[in-house]
Amino acid sequence: MGKAQKKTGKGRLDKYYKLAKEQGYRARSAFKLIQLNKKYNFLESARCCIDLCAAPGGWLQVASKYMPTNSVIVGVDLVPIKPIPRVVTFAADITTPHCRNLIRGELKDWKADVVLHDGAPNVGTAWIQDAYSQSELVLMSLKLAVEFLVKGGTFVTKVFRSVDYNNLIWVFSQLFGKVEATKPPSSRNVSAEIFVVCRDFLSPKHIDPKFLDPKHVFKELASSVDKTTGNDVQANVFHPEKKRRQRDGYADGDYTLFKTTTATDFIHGDDPIAILGSFNKILFTTEEEKNWLFMDITTLDVKENCQDLKVLGKGDFKTLMKWRLKLREELGLDVKTKDTEEVTETVEIEEEVDEEQQISEELERLNAEASARAKRERRKANEIRTKTIQRMQLQMTAPLDIGLEQSDAALGVGQDDVFDLVETEKGMNTRNQVHWLDDEALEVTDSENDDSEGAEEIDEDVLSSDEERDRRVGGLEAELDGLYDAYKDRLRERDAKFRAKEERSKNKEREKEWGGIQNEKDSDEESTDSEGGWDVSQRNKARDDDSSSEDETSDEEGEGGNIATNRKRIRILKDSTLPSAKRQRLVNTLEPLSKPSSAATRLWFSQDLFSGLDGADNFQEDEEVEENMDEADSPSEESDNEMEEVSDEEDGFEVVPQNQDDDVDMWDTADQDQDAAKQEKVRQFGLNTAEAVTLAQMLVNRQKSKTDLINDGFNRYSLNSKDGLPSWFLDDESKHYKANIPVTKEAIAALRAKQRALDARPIKKVAEAKARKKLKAAQRLEKAMKKAEGVNETTDMTEREKAKQIEKLMQKGLSGGKKAKKEVKLVVAKGAHKGIKGRPKGVKGRYTMVDARMKKELKAKKRKEKQQKKRKRA
């Protein structure tokens, strides 16, 4: 129990150490007895107590505190104990008859109610008495206990979990009615000590001397422990599954859980694996070991691994073993691995290497197998998913079927034929019944239909590799789109912000889309095209009615509902009886109509109310066509020719060359509406982006002109075609693919100032409450003034009385009848104030005693209440 060790040891100055110091106990171990007594209550009723191995006297202090006054307390230890009131102490070895005689002399014919023993052999110091091990010391203390204990008395002893533990417990249970082992909270977890409380001493007339003879008590187990084999298995870190629980307890004299070893032992030792398994840390203490730390082979990993062996995995142990091997080679302890075959002396090392190699080879093999299996499964799953999606596109599978194993035994027969994509595509194409979801795939089919050569080509059994690739790419894109939609659905479910954002963008779309009934007719048509099911059947019905246009319409349908929108416009023009030259000029004017309509718009125009408006629509369309024709008459001959050129080639309509003069046509009324709405917003809330403020400031300071702004509007981001691009791509682009407008410091400062002003404004509720308070105060004041006037007018009061009365009334009116709160002084219950009863010194007036704990608890309570409220609100 060296003093230096106690103060410098890691973690020794814990809360019990501090508490012991604070409460005046000589040792932190005092709390162990306090906690044991709290559990078993043996001190309060005891009149006589013997404490064996009592220095420095912590337990004696506790005994003196908890035992009744006038009780006898005797303490013995090898070292003298400083005097403690009401306690008699001796310096003696408890294993000697001298000690026994001293106690006998002190107690006379009294018997002890409690015998305590907290002894531990003074390991590591130069005590002659080290000969006895802990277990033997316990047995010696038991010997004294049985001699001095009264019947029914209590014996409390410290024991260490060791091979002798069970034997000791057995002996205790022979002599006591109740034997319980417990570890009080103040006993450190890293310590293997445990306390055994033996109650209800049986006080047998004759005690077999063998019970108290170490040779007999500890005899049996000594031979039964085969330490080498047991440790080998336990410590083999490379076969952790073979680990056994260590039921034999701790080795004698080794009562700590945290064990360290030196790097030299690890490098030079014969059994490095056992070292890795049984120690916590490898230390580099000597000069030589420190030099190893600077070697190249001692990587950061190796150093880290040496710090805590208990947290390492197989790989880390392997790293350490490899490092050991290399270091041994460097030190000349081993011959390089390649030479091992020739050197007979290094058989042992060779085996080690073999074992490591085997482990690494095995690991590699397993890894390779696992990754190959995972790859196979991934590929298989991808194929199945692609197939299913394609089947869905062919309307052969319901969405619910996705994920169902198509190689189901029940479907096995003939399944390949039924779901053969190539065959199906061929068949479908010839019948013009395919409703592709994918635009690209559609174009492939289109060209095949239009081209007679293509028709011959598809008679071939196998599609060419290009087509196959296209089809695959199409399938994958559809799959990607599907996954993206699913991801958006999930996001929608989870994230309220996302829903709000989406709703906003939908509203914007609706605003944009709304371009009058004529537009809607087109979009209506478009939606019909893009949908199957009910919409298609409705169209078919309409088609049946109008037999004259049947062929043309079916042609259109055959070419797919999802054909690019501008191409549909062309078809609409084709249907009309306009001369081709003039027809082409409509392309510009019809451009805005290519916007897809929203589900809400479609739903609105699917109402019965609009069902009879076909004619009106046509009429309106015709009217617009005529208007456009008139407009189109005016442009120059050159542009006419250009248009004609374009009209010859259907696909050419996708890109419409535009003259600068055409800019006027680009203005859309919907855009104008939007601009007006934006301007209204700006008027209401001001500019709220740094870019907008920067531009505004530049315009005001004449650093930019209107023309500059217009010119800036034409950039790589402005005129982008979005046709045929998947929605996930467009969504992503809308976030990042935009012009980077510079912002100035001034603009940001202005916005911040605006935000600060907004923040400084009280919220509505607070403002209302403040106003209410003000109003009530004014009302009170008015009332008080009226009363004061009344007082002033009374005649049966002197002027002095009146003044006093009025002053009272006015004060009441101002304060609202509330008495001013008296100030309460808070006195912290610590230091001199701790445990004080009555008024603390130097405190006048009202006061409250508070202690840091109460403050903490109150704070915690408030915090909890707040959290609960929040949760409820959520």
Residue stretches of the annotated binding site for S-adenosyl-L-methionine? 57, 59, 77, 93, 118
Q: Judged by CB, which is closer to ligand SAM: 95, or 135?
A: 95
Closest residue to ligand SAM, based on beta-carbon distance: 58
158 is catalytic: yes
- In the complex, least distance from residue 855 CB atom to ligand SAM, rounded to whole angstroms: 34
By beta-carbon proximity to ligand SAM, the closer residue of 159 and 586 is 159
Contact by Cβ (8 Å): 204, 220: no
Of the pair 112, 321, the CB lying nearest ligand SAM is at 112
512 by Cβ neighbours in 10 Å (0-12 / 13-18 / 19+) ranks as middle
CB 19 within 8 A of CB 31: yes
Residue 256 per-residue DSSP state: B
Which whole-number Å values give the CA distances from 657 to 638, 641, 643, 789, in the listed order? 12, 12, 9, 89
Q: Least distance to ligand SAM from the beta carbon of 75, Å?
A: 9
**SS3 letters for 736-771?**
HCCCCCCCCHHHHHHHHHHHHHHHHCCCHHHHHHHH
Nearer to ligand SAM, 94 or 263 (CB): 94
The binding site consists of: 57, 59, 77, 93, 118
Taking the C-alpha atoms of residue 393 and residue 437, their distance in angstroms, rounded to an integer, is 6
To the nearest whole angstrom, how small is the minimum distance from the Cβ of residue 98 to ligand SAM? 11
Q: How far is CA 277 from CA 233, 330, 507, in A?
A: 9, 25, 67
**Distance set, CA 135 to CA 150, 194, 213, 421, 852 (Å):** 24, 12, 11, 83, 45
Cβ burial of 214 (10 Å; 0-12, 13-18, 19+) is middle
Nearer to ligand SAM, 122 or 395 (CB): 122
In angstroms, give the least distance from the CB of 77 to ligand SAM. Answer: 4
Total count of residues recorded for the chain: 874
Min separation Cβ 140 and ligand SAM, Å: 7
Q: Least distance to ligand SAM from the beta carbon of 47, Å?
A: 21
For residue 26, the minimal CB distance to ligand SAM (Å) is: 6
Q: Which is nearer to ligand SAM, 59 or 211 (CB)?
A: 59
- Residue closer to ligand SAM by CB (options 56, 249) is 56
CA nearest to 358, candidates 324, 318, 311, 327: 318
Four-residue CA torsion sign, 843, 849, 855, 861: negative
Query: Which CB atom, from 119 or from 475, has the smaller least distance to ligand SAM?
Result: 119
Provide the minimum distance between the beta carbon of 69 and ligand SAM in the complex, in angstroms, as a whole number: 21
Torsion angle (degrees, nearest 10) of CA 541, 542, 543, 547 = 110
Q: Which of 668, 624, 659, 665 is nearest to 640 (CA)?
A: 659
Record the tokens describing residue 141, joined without a space. 């203390």
Token pair, residue 727, equals 């929605």
Q: Could you give the CA distance from residue 674 to residue 668 in angstroms, rounded to a whole number?
A: 10
* CA dist., res. 792 & res. 796, Å (int): 10
CA angle 530/534/538 to nearest 5° reads 90
User: Closer CB to ligand SAM, residue 144 or residue 263?
Assistant: 144
Q: Contact 58/29 with Cβ under 8 angstroms? A: yes
Which CB, 146 or 442, lies closer to ligand SAM? 146
Does residue 579 sit in helix, strand or coil?
coil
Report d(CA 531, CA 538) in Å as an integer. 11
Task: Identify the H or E element spanning 827.
Answer: strand 825-828
Is residue 570 within 8 A of residue 646, CB to CB? The reply is no
Neighbouring C-alpha atoms within 13 Å toward the C-beta of 518: 12
**DSSP states of 361-420:** HHHHHHHHHHHHHHHHHHHHHHHHHHHHHHHHHTT-S-GGGTTS-TT-GGG-TTHHHHT-
- What does the H/E/C string look like for 366-382? HHHHHHHHHHHHHHHHH
Please say which residue, 27 or 115, places its beta carbon nearer to ligand SAM. Answer: 27
Contact 29, 59 (CB under 8 A): yes
Count CA atoms closer than 13 A to 154's CA, side-chain side: 21
Question: CB of residue 30 vs ligand SAM: minimum separation in angstroms?
Answer: 5
Residue owning tokens 């973690």 = 11
Question: Which of 82, 108, 111, 158 is flagged as catalytic?
Answer: 158
| Enclosing H/E stretch for 176 | strand 176-182
Neighbours of 150 (CB within 10 A): 17
* Residue 56: cis peptide before it, omega within 30 degrees of 0: yes
Smallest distance, Å, CB 156 to ligand SAM? 10
Q: How far is the CB of 38 from ligand SAM (least distance, A)?
A: 16
Shortest distance, CB of residue 837 to ligand SAM, whole angstroms?
31
Q: How many Å apart are CA 596 and CA 507, to the nearest integer? A: 14
Positions in the binding site for ligand SAM (CB under 6 A): 1, 26-27, 29-30, 53-59, 77-79, 93-95, 118-122, 129, 137
Between 187 and 519, name the residue whose CB sits nearer to ligand SAM: 187
- What is the 8-class DSSP label of residue 463? -
Residues taking part in catalysis: 158
